[in-house]
Amino acid sequence: MKKLSFICLMFALAALAGCKKQLTTEAVGLTTLEQVNSTPTLGTLENSVNSSYQLLSNRLNILAQWDWAGGLVFQNDLVMQDIASDDMEKKWNPDGDQPWMDDINNFTFTSTNGGPNGLWKYDYEGIKRLNIAIELLTKPDIEAITGITAARKNQLLGEAYFLRSYYYFSLVTNFGDVPLILKPVSTYQEAFEVAVKADKSIVWDKIKSDLVLAKGLLPNAKYSSTTEKWRANKGSAIALLAKAALYTEKWADVITNVNELQALGFYNLNANYFDSFDQTKEFAENEVIFCYDHQSNQNPLKGNGICAPLGWGFFAPSTDFLNAFEANDPRKLYTVDVPNQNVNKLLGSLNGSNKGNDDAANNKIYIRYADVLLWKAEALNESGQFPEAIAIINQIRARARKSVSATGTVPSAGTLPDRAASTDKATIKAWLISERRVELGFESQRMQDLKRWKLAKSVMTSKGKNFQDKHYLYPIPQGEVDASAGTLKQNPGY
């Protein structure tokens, strides 16, 4: 049944035995298509959306038990975007553990590699769950059937549209043309019919249209829920809409959307750089726009499992990444403590706490305000608004140099000086590239940035990597191609 993995992912019927063999870990309270077709309850509606967040979790073994080779032990963004880039190495001390990660790092991977396989399965499992949620929430009589209020229905539907867009954003940026599946699939025949690639332009259009819907449905507040602050919100929908415009080079739309986000008045740069990552300041700072709320001692487990492989020696900085920081930049130690081999950003601490803990409570950050500001700076530069672009870059640098360092000292005078006035687009772009690398290090942005700038090949080959043109996209997992009986076409070069 392994060849049927993609078909199984598209099925909403949890009772299909063959699919259970492939996805061995079910979410507690997972909504099935049988519940959609019967009489749904208020609990069914809530579960249909809540379970869809789970695929953004760094919890271990969501879809299978210790399937390392299949890339299913945890979310693979650190492997696919950070290890693959010039920022991160697999381990502090190189060894033969998990050679599929080495293949990603060296660009010797094939279409059977676990990295693309895991990413694909996580994203499409999330989409499967969301299609059920949207099917439920758009039933014309759902309020009368379940007693859900119009406000709550709109909130949940807005969250569902945002989350589905997020998963498709991941798919289209990593694989290019992908199947665009927008409703639950109930038969094998339907599953085969939808296993057809849609042109990436169509996928991008759907991402954007869903985000417009999400923006209109979500409450006009910083948090969609004051008691569940982790939920997707209006700000996250607007931010992802801006990012979609960035990746499709719609510069005016980037600026418009970021301006709209800023007008909400919900977000600012934190005074200290590390506040966004500090576990003790979660939901009490001003910069995080969307994150996954990890919690310890929950049933089912909800902890940040990525802290476990950090205790096993995984995820170390490259020398090239460490050398990218200017002198005395406090962001360097806030990102990674080399002497103690602690990746502070991923641990949510500065003393190594959470290291090795597979149930840690520190959150996984997906969108924060500094990233958004740099999107705007890039769009301004591309639009010829050079002083405005430089002002944002300098705003990011000023926050960094004013941050009390991880050792409790104030950076010395002259640290991270402002960039000078310039009307040279290439110079400003180089400043932006440099700033994004050190500001967003180990946040799974670097490889995506290099690819969209069309710099990945030149940068990676200059570092001795085997990057070829085909590597601008990851391969469709070969098992998915085989399961579709050839309906799903492999990406070029694989």
Per-residue pLDDT of 110-168, as tens digits, reads 999 999 999 999 999 999 999 999 999 999 999 999 999 999 999 999 999 999 999 99
Q: pLDDT tens, 159-204?
A: 999 999 999 999 999 999 999 999 998 887 888 888 899 999 999 9
Q: Where are the domains of the chain?
A: 1-87+110-218+469-494, 249-453
Neighbours of 225 (CB within 10 A): 14
Burial 94-119 (b: 16+ CB within 10 A, else e): eeeebebbbbbbebebebbbbbbbbb
Q: What pTM does this model have?
A: 0.94
150-175 helix and 114-137 helix, angle to the nearest 10 degrees: 150
More confident residue, 32 or 328: 328
CATH class as words, domain 249-453: mainly alpha
Residue 177 near residue 197, CB atoms below 8 Å: yes
Q: Is the peptide bond before 300 cis (omega within 30 degrees of 0)?
A: yes
Domain pair 1-87+110-218+469-494 / 249-453, same fold: yes
pLDDT average, residue stretch 25-35: 53
419 φψ region: left (φ > 0), alpha (ψ -120 to 50), beta (else): beta
- Identify the pLDDT of residue 19: 43
Instruction: Report the C-alpha gap between 243 and 352 in whole angstroms.
Output: 33
Pick the CATH number of 1-87+110-218+469-494 from 1.10.760.10, 1.20.120.330, 1.25.40.890, 3.40.50.920: 1.25.40.890
- Identify the pLDDT of residue 14: 35
Q: Which helix (H) or strand (E) holds 188?
A: helix 188-194
Residue 83 near residue 105, CB atoms below 8 Å: yes
- Identify the pLDDT of residue 192: 80
DSSP state, residue 365: E
More confident residue, 432 or 191: 432
Q: Which residues have a Cβ under 8 Å from the Cβ of 284 and sit 6 or more positions away? A: none
Residue 50 near residue 151, CB atoms below 8 Å: no
Q: pLDDT tens, 56-74?
A: 999 999 999 999 999 999 9
